[in-house]
């Protein structure tokens, strides 16, 4: 099995005719993703890598997609997400970065009202090796297996997943949650899903400074998660008072530091790596796996 995205995904690509849309449509197809339609207003009737293009999501629903990926530029991303939700799509992966906070607030809350899941915005997407990929994660780093990965950082995700695969540890699902202050899916959402997933034997969380998501995840792990959890926190050497990396990497009021996150994880029984490549070593040396 996997979480949130499996072999039953029928994907719609919003913004399919743009450079990123075309490039990543091909890469997702090579991964094994079933892409049934694309949408770009005014480009209906075209094809991209054999995928039919429609002017609206409503028109594309004749192809029966059940998930969407959004490559639409930031000023128009909110409308694209809402269009997908109004059409009844229950999983929307928003790759677009620099979406205004109030736009993200609106579509994240609207998705909850619609009973749908948003992954992102400003994220690399989700991949379940051997099943499907919805996003821009590199195909070559993955190996099918039992490690669930949830991350706030795209590039660190790639490094850690690649190290896991090289060490012989495949992944059940890898999800990039996004680095913005407002995101549709959280560490806790991923932890709940991985805990229930029979394929997932252990969980890796990739966090960073700023916000309280990791501390909240640690509290949830201590009370609810029975599977081994490992973590890496980016930003240990960040200068005090300086924002690093993502918009969500903001430290305020003494909260959100690397130290506070590492302490919270360790108190919850989570093994924390000092460097990304150490995650695989921690798993290899853990007698619980």
Per-residue pLDDT of the chain (289 residues; tens, 9 = 90+): 899 999 999 999 999 999 999 999 999 999 999 999 999 999 999 999 999 999 999 999 999 999 999 999 999 999 999 999 999 999 999 999 999 999 999 999 999 999 999 999 999 999 999 999 999 999 999 999 999 999 998 889 999 999 999 999 999 999 999 989 899 999 999 999 999 999 999 999 999 888 889 999 999 999 999 999 999 998 665 566 555 555 554 555 555 788 999 999 999 999 999 999 999 999 999 877 6
> Is there a contact between 131 and 106 (Cβ–Cβ < 8 Å)?
no
Beta bridge partners of 148: 203
Give the bridge partners for 11, in sequence order: 35, 67
Chosen domain end from 58, 84, 119 = 119
List the beta bridge partners of residue 151. 176, 206
| 147 shares a domain with 89 | no
Do 150 and 205 lie in one domain? The reply is yes
* Domain ranges, residue 150: 138-284
Q: For position 112, which CATH number holds?
A: 3.40.50.720
The phi-psi region of residue 124 (left if phi > 0; otherwise alpha if psi is between -120 and 50; otherwise beta) is alpha
DSSP SS3 for 48: strand
Helical H runs in 63-212?
74-86, 101-114, 154-166, 187-196
Give yes or no: residues 168 and 259 share one domain.
Answer: yes
Residues 74 and 183 grouped into a single domain: no
Q: Is residue 237, in this structure, part of any structural domain at all?
A: yes
Indicate whether 20 and 76 sit together in one domain.
yes
**Listed residues 119, 150, 174: the one ending a domain:** 119
* Shared-domain flag, residues 99 and 176: no
Number of domain units in the chain: 2
In this structure, the answer to whether residues 169 and 256 fall within a common structural domain is yes
* Structural contact between residues 271 and 286, judged by C-beta atoms closer than 8 angstroms: yes
The residue among 119, 147, 170 that closes a domain is: 119
**pTM for the full model?**
0.94
As a whole number of angstroms, the distance between CA 210 and CA 251 comes to 5
* In a domain? residue 130: no
At which residue do the structure tokens 């039953």 appear?
8
Active site residues: 246
Clarify whether residues 142 and 114 are in a common domain. Answer: no
């Amino acid at each position: 099995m996997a979480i949130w995205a499996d072999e039953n995904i029928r994907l719609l690509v919003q913004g399919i005719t743009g450079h990123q849309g075309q490039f990543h449509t091909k890469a997702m197809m090579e991964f094994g993703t079933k892409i049934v339609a694309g949408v770009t207003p005014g480009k209906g009737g075209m094809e991209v890598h054999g995928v039919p293009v429609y002017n609206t999501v409503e028109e594309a629903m004749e192809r029966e997609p059940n998930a969407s990926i959004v490559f639409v530029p930031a000023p128009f991303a909110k409308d694209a997400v809402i269009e997908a939700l109004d059409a009844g799509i229950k999983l929307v992966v928003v790759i677009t970065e620099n979406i205004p906070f109030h736009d993200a607030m609106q579509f994240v809350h609207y998705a909850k009202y619609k009973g749908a899941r948003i992954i992102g915005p400003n994220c690399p997407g989700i991949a379940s090796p051997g099943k499907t990929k919805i996003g821009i994660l590199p195909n070559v780093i993955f190996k099918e297996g039992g490690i669930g990965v949830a991350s706030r950082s795209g590039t660190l995700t790639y490094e850690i997943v690649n190290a896991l695969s090289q060490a012989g540890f495949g992944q059940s699902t890898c999800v990039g949650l996004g680095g913005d202050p407002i995101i549709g899916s959280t560490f806790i959402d991923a932890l709940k899903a991985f805990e229930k997933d029979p394929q997932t034997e252990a969980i890796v969380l990739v966090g960073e400074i700023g916000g309280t998501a990791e501390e909240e995840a640690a509290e949830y792990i201590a009370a609810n998660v029975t599977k081994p959890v490992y973590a890496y926190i980016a930003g240990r050497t960040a200068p005090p008072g300086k924002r690093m990396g993502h918009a969500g990497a903001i430290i305020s009021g003494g909260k959100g530091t690397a130290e506070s996150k590492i302490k919270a994880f360790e108190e919850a029984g989570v093994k924390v790596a000092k460097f990304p490549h150490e995650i695989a070593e921690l798993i290899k040396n853990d007698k619980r796996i």
